[in-house]
Structure 1
Amino acid sequence: MKLSKRSAFISLVIVLTIVIDQISKVLVRANIIGQTETRPSERISLIGDAFIMMNVENKGAFLGMGSELNKPLRIILLLILPLLVLGYVLRYILRDKNLDNWSLFAFSSIIGGGISNVFDRIVYSSVTDFLFIDLGGVFKTGIFNMADVFVTTGMIILVFASFIKKKKQLS
């Protein structure tokens, strides 16, 4: 079976997203002392107090939400449901031939980031988060990872692509 350029592009973006995220997490787990119940994670300043690396294992979803749920509910909400949604989105982008390249890239980034975090939940029972940004109270993030960066970037691209598409339709 021959892989079309379009399918190859989608596959490449998904695989690269997963590889970049997993390599970054392997490096963090190997080189940054993680938090325990008795001590906080090692903190490595990249740019003063504005950009910090640490090693935090997140048993929940975004900002730890869902970490206190019982195990069956966590499996449904953090493993099964995301896999179903990611599968649906993949099916959608493979079938919809009208999507522009930016939208394909965005959806593929979201899928890759989602798969990578689900992989962590299956293999490690948590997701390794390690980046934190604090721009003096004006802008402060939770602790996140590269998969989160890809998912967020994909969402931002989709918003812009949607505005551009609407603007073209109105012209």
Structure 2
Amino acid sequence: MSKLSGVIRTVVIIAILISSISCDQITKSIVRSQVSSDEQISMFNNSVTLMRVENSGAFLSLGHALPSLVKQAILILIPVLVLLAGIYFVFNRKDIQSTTLIGICFVLGGGIGNIYDRIIYGSVTDFLHINFGLFETGIFNLADVSIMVGIFIVIFDTYRTKTLVESN
């Protein structure tokens, strides 16, 4: 895929960011208002469970027991700085391939959704758990899905681009 340019590029960036953040925040808002903290809703033959967990740490609750000032620096300040740098990067680097740009925007949108929760609520609302026997996840939210989709897209595009360059 080639590089996007001008207004179309800006519209794509903003559309992905807004879509990712909106889907995440809408689903979290529904869960906060409709699912109690001790409730578990099983779906699809118990393969998917909807529950509400407030995660005050990072991925898989890492850092939840850190002292408050350290936790704020590690879980709020550093991620905000990284997200701001990422936003600057996608708007100012015109040489990013379109697919990679889309992947980075998904990562940024998910990161913004989770950091918003952490700043506003003091924790991130997670609510989905998947268990397909051999494959089981931790509890996650749609921001996490956006981040993982974005990482997959960037890795895929990097591999695809490397393969194309090597074959020429």
TM-score by length of 2: 0.93
1:68 aligns with 2:65: yes
Q: 1:22 aligns with which of 16, 21, 25?
A: 25
Residue in 1 aligned with 2:42?
45
> What's the % identity of the aligned pairs?
37
Q: 2:89 aligns with which of 83, 87, 92?
A: 92
Cα deviation, residue 163, structure 1: 0.3
d(CA) in 2 for partners of 1:103, 1:65: 28
Residue in 1 aligned with 2:161?
165
1:81 aligns with 2:84: no
Q: Secondary structure at the match of 1:52?
A: strand
- Say which is worse superposed, 150-159 or 89-98, in terms of deviation: 89-98
d(CA) in 2 for partners of 1:98, 1:168: 17
Matching residue's letter, 1:130:
F
Matching residue's letter, 1:18:
I
Q: 1:139 aligns with which of 115, 124, 135?
A: 135
Point out where structure 2 has 5 or more consecutive residues left out of the alignment. Answer: 1-5
Residue in 2 aligned with 1:5?
8
d(CA) in 1 for partners of 2:88, 2:27: 28
Q: How many residues align?
A: 162
Matching residue's letter, 2:60:
L
d(CA) in 1 for partners of 2:148, 2:129: 15
Structure 1 consecutive aligned stretches of length 4 or more whose deviation exceeds 4 Å: none
d(CA) in 2 for partners of 1:158, 1:115: 18
Point out where structure 1 has 5 or more consecutive residues left out of the alignment. Answer: 35-40
Residue in 1 aligned with 2:3?
none
Matching residue's letter, 2:49:
I
Q: Secondary structure at the match of 2:60?
A: helix
d(CA) in 2 for partners of 1:8, 1:144: 28
Residue in 2 aligned with 1:33?
36
d(CA) in 2 for partners of 1:107, 1:87: 13
